[in-house]
């Protein structure tokens, strides 16, 4: 099969022929229809994840059709269209038993613990626990984005921060994760303030439902916080940092009202310094969101299938697999492209 492959961190990957994967006893092999180009894959390619072995094939948010199954799979069959959380759970540990499969202690992650979905086929483990059926008529881009950034934002806002209608939500960083948070927040009835340095990203945020946009280019961090506080009448009830930089994490936390909730979704190359004085003094909550268990997907899938949420509207470009190496490397640019790039394996 064809796959995007690299054997040195930070060196441009190449498209090459590699052996087809085989299903594990409780797993499947999925023929990939589409997969998202995600900043998490970029972090992995640069060597920021010490769990990745070389050589490697990236990619972790996907939709496709089951091509082969292991002998222990009972709930799925060849030919079914599926997606999967980027955290694949074991189903047996205490975290899984408590309903928190997204932090399974024995988790596997395509594109991180093993070869991923920048390929014509990908192996997925513990299929009966992790696979999610996808309607045949659902847009491939919408389905693929449910595997990582959209589901992570959904869980962060709905299950972690518990956003309610009428609250103010500030989203710092309007890439794929940030735009997902904007769209979900708007659908929940929140007043969304979007912050970014890109005019195009802010325009996309406005289309996704942001009430206000703040172009932070050339502004000091203090000035950005002051602007957000002005627009939110003293501070937002909820903030999301979706970029993964120390100063923007600080902006998001400092923009909160007293007893506000911060959701950290953006991945950082190193642990940041946080304004913990404000966290303590104003009793702020700092929450993480690390994907969503497959058991919680039905509520999200129903909103997407019914049209209340449209992840496909966040897709700015659809590229063939052959363009994925260059697109991954291009994420190192200081100003990333607005919207989501989808790697569409149906394109020539």
Residue 50 is predicted with a pLDDT of 85
Q: Are residues 164 and 79 in the same domain?
A: no
Q: Are residues 235 and 268 in the same domain?
A: yes
Question: Which of the listed residues 248, 268, 288 is the one where a domain comes to its end?
Answer: 288
Q: How far is CA 342 from CA 171, 187, 297, 304, in A?
A: 22, 23, 21, 18
Q: How far apart are CA 102 and CA 319, in angstroms?
A: 29
Q: Are residues 128 and 50 in the same domain?
A: yes
Contact 173, 198 (CB under 8 A): no
DSSP class of residue 335? Answer: S
Q: Which domain holds residue 103?
A: 2-148+292-344
Residue 306 is predicted with a pLDDT of 87
* Count of the separate structural domains present in the chain: 2
Of 126, 92, 4, which is closest to residue 55 (Cα–Cα)? 4
- For residue 315 the two structure tokens come to 């897709």
Question: Which of the listed residues 269, 288, 307 is the one where a domain comes to its end?
Answer: 288
Show pLDDT as tens, one digit a residue, over the chain (348 residues): 999 999 999 999 999 999 999 999 999 999 999 999 998 899 999 998 888 999 999 999 999 999 999 999 999 999 999 999 999 999 999 999 999 999 999 999 999 999 999 999 999 999 999 999 999 999 999 999 998 889 999 999 999 999 999 999 999 999 889 999 999 999 999 999 999 999 999 999 999 999 999 999 999 999 999 999 999 999 999 999 999 999 999 999 999 999 999 999 998 888 999 999 999 999 999 999 999 999 999 999 988 988 889 999 999 899 999 999 999 999 888 666 678 899 999 999
Question: Which of the listed residues 288, 306, 321 is the one where a domain comes to its end?
Answer: 288
Q: How far apart are CA 213 and CA 201, in angstroms?
A: 10
Residue 268 is predicted with a pLDDT of 87
- Sign of the torsion formed by the C-alpha atoms of 215, 224, 252 and 303: negative
Question: What three-state secondary structure class fits 214?
Answer: strand
Q: Are residues 120 and 223 in the same domain?
A: no
CATH number at residue 252: 3.40.50.720
Give the other-Cβ count within 10 Å of 302's Cβ. Answer: 11
Q: Are residues 128 and 195 in the same domain?
A: no
Contact 211, 238 (CB under 8 A): no
Q: Are residues 297 and 262 in the same domain?
A: no
Half-sphere exposure of 139 (CA within 13 A, CB side): 16
Contact 318, 141 (CB under 8 A): yes
Cis peptide before 55 (omega within 30 of 0): yes
Q: Are residues 138 and 154 in the same domain?
A: no
Q: Are residues 144 and 154 in the same domain?
A: no
- For residue 296 the two structure tokens come to 């919680």
Question: What three-state secondary structure class fits 23?
Answer: coil
Question: What three-state secondary structure class fits 142?
Answer: helix
pLDDT, tens digit (0-9, with 9 covering 90-100), for 204-259: 999 999 999 999 999 999 999 999 999 999 999 999 999 999 999 999 999 999 99
Q: How far is CA 309 from CA 14, 53, 266, 301, 302, in A?
A: 35, 36, 21, 9, 9
Q: Are residues 164 and 242 in the same domain?
A: yes
Pairing status of strand 315-319 against strand 340-344: parallel
- For residue 280 the two structure tokens come to 């303590």
Question: What three-state secondary structure class fits 238?
Answer: strand
Q: Are residues 87 and 196 in the same domain?
A: no
Q: Are residues 112 and 25 in the same domain?
A: yes
Q: How far is CA 187 from CA 18, 51, 107, 183, 273, in A?
A: 43, 36, 31, 6, 32
Residue 267 is predicted with a pLDDT of 86
CATH number at residue 53: 3.90.180.10
For the chain, helix, strand, coil in percent to 5 are: 30, 25, 45
Question: What three-state secondary structure class fits 198?
Answer: coil
Q: Are residues 50 and 101 in the same domain?
A: yes
Give the other-Cβ count within 10 Å of 86's Cβ. Answer: 28
Contact 151, 300 (CB under 8 A): yes
Q: How far apart are CA 190 and CA 167, in angstroms?
A: 5
């Amino acid at each position: 099969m064809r796959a995007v492959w690299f054997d040195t961190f930070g060196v441009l990957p190449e498209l090459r022929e590699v052996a087809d994967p085989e299903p594990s006893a409780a797993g499947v092999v999925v023929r990939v229809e589409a997969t998202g180009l995600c900043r998490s894959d970029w972090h992995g390619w640069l060597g920021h994840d010490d769990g990745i072995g070389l050589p490697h094939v990236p990619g972790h948010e996907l939709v496709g059709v089951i091509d082969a199954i292991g002998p222990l799979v009972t709930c799925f069959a060849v030919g079914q269209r599926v997606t999967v959380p980027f955290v694949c759970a074991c189903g047996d540990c205490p975290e899984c038993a408590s309903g928190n499969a997204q932090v399974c202690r024995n988790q596997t992650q395509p594109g991180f613990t093993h070869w991923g979905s920048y390929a014509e086929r990908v192996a997925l483990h513990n299929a009966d626990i992790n696979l999610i059926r996808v309607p045949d008529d659902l847009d491939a881009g919408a389905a693929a984005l449910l595997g990582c950034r959209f589901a992570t934002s959904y869980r962060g806002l709905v299950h972690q921060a518990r956003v309610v209608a009428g609250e103010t939500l500030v989203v710092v960083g309007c890439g794929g994760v940030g735009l997902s948070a904007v769209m979900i927040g708007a659908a929940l009835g929140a007043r969304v303030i979007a912050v970014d340095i890109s005019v195009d990203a802010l325009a996309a945020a406005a289309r996704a439902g942001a009430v206000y946009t703040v172009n932070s280019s050339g502004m000091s961090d203090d000035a950005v916080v002051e602007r957000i506080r002005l627009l939110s009448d003293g501070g937002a009830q909820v903030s999301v940092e979706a970029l993964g930089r120390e100063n923007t994490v600080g902006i998001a936390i400092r923009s909160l009202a007293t007893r506000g909730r911060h959701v950290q979704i953006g991945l950082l190359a190193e642990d940041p310094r946080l304004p913990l004085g404000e966290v303590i003094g104003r009793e702020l909550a700092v929450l993480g969101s690390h994907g969503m268990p497959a058991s919680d997907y039905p509520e999200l899938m129903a909103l997407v299938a019914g049209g209340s949420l449209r992840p496909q509207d966040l897709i700015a470009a659809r590229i063939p697999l052959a363009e994925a190496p260059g697109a991954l490397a291009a994420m190192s640019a200081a100003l990333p492209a607005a919207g989501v790039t989808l790697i569409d394996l149906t394109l020539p």
